[in-house]
Amino acid sequence: MVALQQNYEQSSQCRHWRFSRAKLHEIRRATNQSGIERARANIAAEKDELHQQQTQPAPDSQDDTAVNYLTLEDELALCHFYETRIETVSKYFKFPNQVKATAVVFMKRFFLYNTVMDYPPKFIMLTCLYLATKTENHFIQIEEFAKPSTLKTTPKDILDYEFIVSQSLKFEFTIHHPYSPLYGFFLDAQAVVDNMALLTQVYNKAMEWCHKSLFTDLVFLYFPSQVALAAMLLAAQDVGWDFDTYLTYKFTEPVPRQELVTILTDIAAILKAYQPITVTTVRDIDRKLIYCRNPEKDPSSLLYQKKLQQAEDAEDQRRLAKVPAKPPSTESESVAEGEGGLVD
């Protein structure tokens, strides 16, 4: 027990991805704020582009003052919605819990430092899920993954974001979930329990609570083992099992036990307060997003095309300088289609 605890403390999850509530909020606030600044500056630049190219003004072009940028709450709601889509897609592919759960955590970590105004959450969601199939040893070929027509995606869409996602994850791919500790507690509790049928019920209920925990902030706030134990506490209340006896058996020292109970109570409160997001709320936010996306990251924008062209020119220059005999490459990358709607 002690050795495992120390192990967890050395994990990247514990070292780099655990925050106080206040810190978590501060990071998100800053991400949202700088996202708005970037979007605002680039929307202005895109307008200049439009003007310079003398193209027809876009029908929905409007004053910057009229643009409603996404609030932090909007962003969180939208992310939350797409987190729950991971479940739908995982069900289709029959991915194990581990893949699904890791993908959700990847997505949460990604949008801790990035904003949906820069990166479309639908594609990021799919990239996170695809990356999770690899990191959780459940690899499938990209063609197979991008195949279902309901996903409205291409292999390129997903792979284009793979490095961007990996960078934001700091290339830390090991994710610890409450599932394994929960299973450990389940085995362990058998030492003090006669009624196996009841304990199994507790375990199954607790699995559901652990599952719910994925869609909350708990992964940033507490140890997976603490979340698992709190899930067990709630499950015990659900099916009428004497949790305290087990807790007393497991944690004999009264003072640390009391501290643990405080933690478990807090986790249980977060779990009970969890509310799934409604599709109507998300539709409104998604509509709002159409006008405040950062054009720099939007493949259908002039700004994006310009930057792409600049990058290609620079690359050609570099190649020319390197190998003067070889003509520069003329083929240009096909630009990915812009994306608007939600996953069906």
CB of 98 to another protein, least distance (A): 8
* Member of 19, 24, 27, 299 binding another protein (CB under 8 A): 27
The correct pick among 5, 34, 53, 317 for binding another protein (CB under 8 A) is: 34
* Closest distance to another protein from the beta carbon of 267 (Å): 22
Site for another protein contains 167 (CB under 8 A): yes
Contact status, residue 241 vs residue 198, Cβ threshold 8 Å: yes
Identified binder of another protein from the candidate list 21, 25, 170, 272, rule CB under 8 A:
170
SS3 of residue 115 by DSSP: coil
Where in 72-111 is the site for another protein (CB under 8 A)?
96, 110
Angle at 263 between CA 262 and CA 266, to 5 degrees: 90
Point out which span in 39-47, 65-73, 168-176, 246-254 binds another protein (CB under 8 A).
Answer: 168-176
**Contact yes or no for 129/89 (Cβ under 8 A):** yes
* Cα angle value 155/70/125 (rounded, 5°): 25
Is 200 a binding residue for another protein by CB under 8 A? The answer is: no
Backbone angles phi, psi at 273, to 5 degrees: -80, -10
Counting contacts by CB under 8 A, is residue 3 touching another protein?
A: yes
Distance CA 280, CA 342 (A): 12
275 binds another protein (CB under 8 A): no
Q: Does 317 bind another protein (CB under 8 A)?
A: no
Token pair 């019920």 in the structure block, residue: 201
Does the footprint of another protein cover residue 166 (CB under 8 A)?
Answer: yes
What would you report as the CA-atom Rg of the chain, rounded to the nearest whole angstrom? 24
- What whole-number distance in Å separates Cα of residue 88 and Cα of residue 106? 17
Q: Please, is 212 exposed, middle or buried when counting C-beta atoms within 10 Å of its C-beta (0-12, 13-18, 19+)?
A: middle
Q: Does 192 bind another protein (CB under 8 A)?
A: no
* Closest by Cα among 297, 40, 284, 336 to 159: 336
* Cβ closest to another protein, residue 62 vs residue 180: 180
Q: How far is the C-alpha of 13 from the C-alpha of 223, rounded, in Å?
A: 9
Work out which of 1, 148, 163, 248 binds another protein, going by CB under 8 A.
163
For the CB of residue 334, give the shortest distance to another protein in the complex, in Å.
16
334 binds another protein (CB under 8 A): no
- Asked if residue 204 binds another protein (CB under 8 A), the reply is no
Q: Say whether residue 135 binds another protein (CB under 8 A).
A: yes
30 near another protein, rule: CB under 8 A: yes
Site for another protein contains 329 (CB under 8 A): no
Interface with another protein, residue 55, by CB under 8 A: no
Which among 3-11, 236-244, 248-256, 257-265 is the span making contact with another protein, rule CB under 8 A? 3-11
Count of residues in contact with another protein, rule CB under 8 A: 42
DSSP-assigned letters across all residues of 218-264? HHHHS-HHHHHHHHHHHHHHHHT--HHHHHHHH---HHHHHHHHHHH
Long-range residue pairs from 65-68, CB within 8 A, at least 24 positions apart, any chain: 67/40, 67/43, 67/291, 67/292, 68/288, 68/291, 68/292
List contacts with another protein (CB under 8 A): 3, 7, 10-12, 26-27, 30-31, 34, 96, 110, 113-114, 118, 130-131, 134-135, 137, 139, 141-142, 155, 158-159, 162-174, 179-180, 183
